[in-house]
């Protein structure tokens, strides 16, 4: 379904569907402006991301886009309008973008960005917030803010995490355009495929994820966040030991171990196999 915004036209700028096997697809659909986003689209995405995060029936989210470009970043008309606002109004507006990125980055479900074309400015932030990024060999990236006298502020925590400090120091300042192969070298992109293979590659990744325990994937993702950059001390050892002990005795942990020793498929794989891969309108 499309999440309604101010009017019927705007409601079509972001599409949201959920398949029977628990895969949500969020599609940027503002093709006339190369999927650039404004305050209304940011609110729509925030609402959708928050809805997905609360749903136990969704295990994977794909962030995609229609048209030639993935996203041109911020809509220029919106930026022009905001330039005439006060500092306080700009702060409120920027905070909404920051909250949208946070909702995407910390979504408990596995997230896949499907990048078919240009991803500029804030769109690099969207990609950086996803767990897995699969890009067409025609995709390109640019942290273009300094060309407009701006900085990539709200996206910076996620971009620096994705490509590292050294690369960020370069690309934040140069606003160079780089392509999918370089993006993979930097760590922003995980896989680069031929344009016609992009959808099959995303489908293959979805199938890989559907083979795994949904609850274990959620806990594994949170584990990565919690242990990153932490000192290896007794507190961390105690915490990680408690986590594995807890999941071993959980229902899915017991089912996974039993299935392994019984040489059968676990229940979640059977459910994923019987579920349709075709999207249906979300009821959320």
**261 and 196 within one domain:** no
Q: Does residue 2 form part of some domain?
A: no
**168 and 227 within one domain:** no
Note the pLDDT of residue 12. Answer: 86
Q: Does residue 138 form part of some domain?
A: yes
Q: What is the span of the domain harbouring residue 222?
A: 214-265
**81 and 219 within one domain:** no
CB 27 within 8 A of CB 65: yes
Compute the distance between CA of residue 162 and CA of residue 135 in angstroms, rounded to an integer. 15
Compute the distance between CA of residue 143 and CA of residue 193 in angstroms, rounded to an integer. 22
Q: Does residue 25 form part of some domain?
A: yes
**47 and 107 within one domain:** yes
Mean pLDDT per block of 10 residues along the chain (284 residues) reads 41 91 97 95 97 97 98 89 86 92 97 98 97 98 92 94 97 97 98 98 98 96 93 86 84 87 88 52 40
**106 and 39 within one domain:** yes
**107 and 12 within one domain:** yes
**226 and 98 within one domain:** no
Note the pLDDT of residue 10. Answer: 44
Q: Does residue 243 form part of some domain?
A: yes
**177 and 131 within one domain:** yes
Note the pLDDT of residue 256. Answer: 87
Compute the distance between CA of residue 68 and CA of residue 87 in angstroms, rounded to an integer. 35
Per the structure, the count of domains in the chain is: 2
**172 and 62 within one domain:** yes
pTM: 0.87
Sign, CA dihedral 147-150-156-160, equals: positive
Note the pLDDT of residue 274. Answer: 56
């Amino acid at each position: 379904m499309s999440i309604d915004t101010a009017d019927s036209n705007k409601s079509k700028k972001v599409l949201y569907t959920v398949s029977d096997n628990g895969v949500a697809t969020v599609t940027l659909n503002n093709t006339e402006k190369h999927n650039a986003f404004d305050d209304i689209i940011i609110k729509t995405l925030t609402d959708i991301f928050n809805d997905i995060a609360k749903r136990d029936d969704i295990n994977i989210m794909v962030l995609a886009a229609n048209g030639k470009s993935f996203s041109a970043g911020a809509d220029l008309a919106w930026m022009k309008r905001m330039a005439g606002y006060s500092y306080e109004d700009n702060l409120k507006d920027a905070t909404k973008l920051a909250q949208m990125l946070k909702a995407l980055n910390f979504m408990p479900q596995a997230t896949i960005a499907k990048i078919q074309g240009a991803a500029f400015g804030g769109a690099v932030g969207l990609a950086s917030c996803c767990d897995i990024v699969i890009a067409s060999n025609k995709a390109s990236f640019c942290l273009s803010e300094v060309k407009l006298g701006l900085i990539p502020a709200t996206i910076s925590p996620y971009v620096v995490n994705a490509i590292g400090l050294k690369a960020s120091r370069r690309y934040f300042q140069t606003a160079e355009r780089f392509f999918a192969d370089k993006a993979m070298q930097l760590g922003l992109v995980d896989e680069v495929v031929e344009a016609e293979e992009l959808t099959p590659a995303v489908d293959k990744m979805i199938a890989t994820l559907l083979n795994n325990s949904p609850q274990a994937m959620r806990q594994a993702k949170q584990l990565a966040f919690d242990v990153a950059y932490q000192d290896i001390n007794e507190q961390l050892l105690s915490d990680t030991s408690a986590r594995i002990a807890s999941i071993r005795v959980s229902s899915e942990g017991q089912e996974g171990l039993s299935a392994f020793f019984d040489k059968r498929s676990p229940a979640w794989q059977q459910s994923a196999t019987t579920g349709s891969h075709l999207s249906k309108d979300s009821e959320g």
